[in-house]
Amino acid sequence: MAKLNFGGTEENVVTREEFPLSKAQEVLKDEVVAVIGYGVQGPGQALNQKDNGINVIVGQRKGTKTWDKAISDGFVPGETLFEIEEALQRGTVICYLLSDAAQIALWPTVKKHLTPGKALYFSHGFGITFNEQTGIVPPADVDVFLVAPKGSGTSLRRMFLQGRGLNSSYAIFQDATGKAFERVISLGIAVGSGYLFETNFKKEVYSDLTGERGTLMGCIQGIFAAQYDVLRSKGHSPSEAFNETVEELTQSLMPLVAENGMDWMYANCSTTAQRGALDWWKKFRDATKPVFEELYESVATGKESQRSIDSNSQPDYREKLDAELKELRESELWQAGKTVRSLRPENQVVEA
């Protein structure tokens, strides 16, 4: 484990240099990793482990679309693809990658198969941290840990295929075997992490829920909508409003930030853009900070987790979700975006 300086604070991290794939393969050589759930994180994590030579199986309900997807991805029924309960029985490491609501519903079945020495793996601290709401309390004689990639399963897989890695956090909640650290780091490397940074279950879920509702998804959509609406109300066309709100940010500026940081991006923009950004960023910080304080408090007090559980457990959740996503999809902002994306050179069909 290395200690690196992050803005003046030393943190423990594990890199692929000090913990190469060959070491992970050696640690996991006698394990059967059962990936339960093949929806958001499941495919990326399962396929990356499979490609990295780990003995991975998938547990999924037969006859579902995700069962069929696992088959199309190369998992073989009766060999590497099983009904959930059989996969739970076969697995020595249970990668519990169902949605939070589905984890609650399946927990009695999972717990039954957590025999001594097995490991229970999460990619989210939700079920353990909010166990008074979820009922997820593992037996004392199994390892419990998490690897949380900082991105979607799609991104995890895409970056793996590009020879890159997605940063992940790791945490150990329970070390029953004395081998939890080696197991969790090996799995973190096997799923395609670029490097792994240390956290705990509570901090992971608090930061994750705040981030998803904040700058990663909720806040950014709100800011997009606000700026787009102002530009449109002042007479700007949809294409101009979208390009100045979303396209330039995602296609031009954010890649520069990702490469070298915000100061470098500022330094490589026009002096007019620099001046405006430097003059206004603190006003946006001060305006939004109270909202983030309110958001974090809602996460820490369990309000957000309870709302998620109550909402996502409803039988008509999928229909309500589809309606909310339809509202976004059919808004002028994202209809304009659909046209703008179609005009990117890489999406143009050029006749020879």
Positions annotated as catalytic residues are: 124
Q: Is 294 annotated as a binding residue?
A: no
What is the tens place of the pLDDT at every residue in 86-127?
999 999 999 999 999 899 999 999 999 999 999 999 999 999
What is the tens place of the pLDDT at every residue in 281-314?
999 999 999 999 999 999 999 999 999 999 988 9
| pLDDT score, position 61 | 93
| pLDDT score, position 199 | 95
What is the tens place of the pLDDT at every residue in 8-34?
999 889 999 999 999 999 999 999 999
| pLDDT score, position 207 | 96
Q: pLDDT category, 352, cuts 50, 70, 90? A: low
CA dist., res. 5 & res. 216, Å (int): 24
**Cβ contact 96:110 at 8 Å:** yes
**Cβ contact 156:192 at 8 Å:** yes
Helix, strand or coil, per DSSP, at residue 149:
strand
**Cβ contact 5:65 at 8 Å:** no
Q: Is 208 annotated as a binding residue?
A: yes
- Provide the mean pLDDT of the chain: 94
Q: Is 240 annotated as a binding residue?
A: no
Q: Is 248 annotated as a binding residue?
A: yes
